Amino acid sequence: MFTGIVEELGAVVEAGTKLEVRCSTVLSDLSIGASIAVNGVCLTAVTVTGESFAADLAPETLSRSNLGDLAAGSRVNLERPVTPATRLSGHIVQGHVDATGEVVALDELGDGNWWLKVRVPKSLDRYLVEKGSVTLDGISLTIAAMDGDVVGVTIIPHTFANTTIGQAHVGTRLNVEVDVLAKHVEKLLARR
């Protein structure tokens, strides 16, 4: 389980069915077999060195996320899983990406704030509500507006500077994970 609070921006060394990422902070306690979120996708570290880790990417991961779009030099959001003593600063994030969405606008609001609009698949609409949580590329965000299949969120200066959102542009694909609690509620209510 993750929180959607990005700890570090890593740099892709190798992309494809094996992903290698150069980083430092998340390596401090990363071991082979441990989970690590890359752009919000929960991966298993299969090799760990003093300056990078590698993970295998399954066909499902490549088809459902934007990790197949990565190339050497791409920047990625990294987060280690929570521990029992960790503060849950974002929201419950599994790292199980539902789909990708497409950036339709990233507009400056002033004072370093930005307004991000992302078109998400219509199939996810029932899990998204204004003031609810959504994870975009592994970043826990609050939905500020919904207009059909477009979700609007405010990006604060810290998030813009310390995540991949600062590199996004119209057309960029972002990994989308909806709130798992909404999915469980839907299933429980359907059984009634």
Q: What is the set of active-site residues?
A: 2, 35, 42, 44, 58, 96, 142
Say whether 175 sits in a helix, a strand or coil: strand
What is the distance between the alpha carbons of residues 91 and 170, in angstroms, rounded to a whole number? 26
Residue reference for tokens 């570090």: 8
Q: For residue 22, what are its two tokens?
A: 């150069």
Where do the H-state alpha helices sit in 65-124? none
List C-alpha distances in Å: 31 to 17, 26, 80: 20, 10, 11
Beta bridge partners of 54: 20, 47
CA distance linking residue 163 with residue 129, whole number of Å:
24
CA nearest to 17, candidates 95, 53, 70? 70
d(CA 94, CA 115) in angstroms, rounded, equals 25
